[in-house]
Amino acid sequence: MAVIEMLRVQCPPNRRAEFLVRNGEVWTPVLERQKGFISKETWVDLNDPDRVTLVIRWASLDHWRAFPPELGKQLDVQMGDLLSPLICEAYEAYEA
């Protein structure tokens, strides 16, 4: 069963487009090269323009946990001043 990593980010609306581009340039290519990575979606909340939700699907919890923490720190540095506090949630995905 797949595992969903859900990241909720508070992003000022006047910088949201810039955040979306940089996140796509910095994080997405690296995630795509990780073993067990399935997909990444970016959701912009229509009711709360400050909130962006990143939904990352992994083949398993072990694959997600295998992501190197030091690499994550390096990517966060590349996000620069667009790095925002976030809430991380994890889910198991069941197909009906």
Query: What is residue 12's predicted lDDT score, i.e. its pLDDT?
Result: 79
Give the integer Cα–Cα distance in Å for 59 and 39: 10
CATH 3.40.50.970 applies to domain 2-93: no
Report pTM: 0.91
Give the integer Cα–Cα distance in Å for 46 and 60: 30
pLDDT per position as a tens digit, 30-72: 999 999 999 999 999 999 888 999 999 999 999 999 999 999 9
Average pLDDT score over residue span 14-37: 96
Query: What is residue 37's predicted lDDT score, i.e. its pLDDT?
Result: 98
Run of H or E including 52: strand 51-58
Question: What φ, ψ does residue 44 adopt, rounded to 5°?
Answer: -105, 125
Where are the chain's structural domains? 2-93
Share of the chain above pLDDT 90, in %: 83
Query: What is residue 53's predicted lDDT score, i.e. its pLDDT?
Result: 96
